[in-house]
Amino acid sequence: MEKEFSKDSANHLLHHWIEHNESHSASFRDRAAQVAKVSEKAARDIEQAAVLMDQCTEMLKKAMKDL
């Protein structure tokens, strides 16, 4: 039988996603600097992906507050 999904479970999941996103965002920024040596345009795209990831993270933080 599946365990009931609780507020605590949702909070744990959101916390995990936030940490995961923050890690990816930092990685995108680090790698964009490396990619810039090959393609400035691609590096800008990766930087934009980091910005969008940060926006997703902010929505997840909002969801945590809304629980």
pLDDT tens digits for range 22-65: 999 999 999 999 999 999 999 999 999 999 999 999 999 999 99
Q: Is residue 1 part of a domain?
A: no
CA dihedral 30, 31, 36, 40 (to 10 degrees): -100
Provide the number of structural domains found in the chain. 1
Domain that residue 22 falls in: 7-66
- Residue 14 included in any domain: yes
32 within 8 A of 47, measured Cβ to Cβ: yes
In one-letter notation, the amino acid at residue 51 is V
**Nearest-CA neighbor of 16 among 44, 57, 52?**
57
Residue 2 lies in a domain: no
The structure's pTM equals 0.86
Kindly tell me if the per-residue pLDDT of 2 is higher than 80. Answer: no
The predicted pLDDT at position 3 comes to 74
